[in-house]
Chains A and B, each alone.
Chain A
Amino acid sequence: GNSVTQMEGPVTLSEEAFLTINCTYTATGYPSLFWYVQYPGEGLQLLLKATKADDKGSNKGFEATYRKETTSFHLEKGSVQVSDSAVYFCALSVFAGANSKLTFGKGITLSVRP
């Protein structure tokens, strides 16, 4: 089956620190990979995605590269801000027939202190 494994949290960083959140996956078929973010009091939002090997998704200073050889999609940001404090979910989708349901990791809480 399909599964996503995220590093254990929570993560606390100082503003302007470098961020890496690890994500690995197993999938039957060829998945698309996603990072979703949930800010306090808000719904899940797509942060970035990549649909094939070696693609790099990027948004709001965050980046993640689809690595097929290591089955990974690690999220990075060079300089985090307090406003990046949120819960981050790695997810995959394998298009199977007419269904593109998402499989999520457990999520990791990021807190950025001033």
Chain B
Amino acid sequence: GAGVSQSPRYKVAKRGQDVALRCDPISGHVSLFWYQQALGQGPEFLTYFQNEAQLDKSGLPSDRFFAERPEGSVSTLKIQRTQQEDSAVYLCASSLLTGNEQYFGPGTRLTVT
């Protein structure tokens, strides 16, 4: 069956531009997570949704980062006024229910120049 998909796979942005990263979770999965993976590091938690409710956004590094999941399915991570330190791979994961195995997408590699 279809896994988690993310688009675009690669994004190059000039410093100061806004970007939007999309995640399509596995159909029917209630939980959705965003992680940020810097080069040579493990993924770090950004935010968590249960259906359309954003229950935890404690990992968002600044108020330039915003995530939404308005209909409880597709999610978008938006970064405003991108900075060089935002360069990373952004991973999306979904799970059927809270506490179940998380399935990861291929990630979006963001490069800010």
Contact = CB atoms under 8 A, between A and B. Distances in A.
Contacts of A95: 98-99
A101 B45 contact: yes
B45 A103 contact: yes
Interface string A22-58: 0000000000000010000011111001000000000
Given A42-B106, A45-B104, A105 B99 contact: no
A46 B99 CA distance: 14
- What is the size category of the interface that chain B forms with chain A? 20 to 34
Contacts of A91: 42
Interface stretch (B12-20, B21-29, B48-56, B72-80): B48-56
A57 B53 CA distance: 33
A74 interface: no
**Residue from B3, B59, B93 having most chain A Cβ neighbours under 10 A:** B93
Nearest to B46: A101
A101 B35 CA distance: 9
Interface residues of A, number: 23
A114 to B, nearest CB: 26
Contacts of B59: 101
B43 A44 contact: yes
Interface in B55-113: 55-56, 59, 91, 93, 95, 98-102, 104-107
Contacts of A70: none
A102 B102 contact: yes
Contact of A43 (B48, B50, B56, B106): B106
Contacts of A101: 33, 45, 48, 56, 59
**Residue from A46, A95, A101 having most chain B Cβ neighbours under 10 A:** A101
Interface of B: 3-4, 31, 33, 35, 40-45, 48, 50, 55-56, 59, 91, 93, 95, 98-102, 104-107
Interface of A: 4, 36, 42-46, 49, 89, 91, 93, 95, 97-107
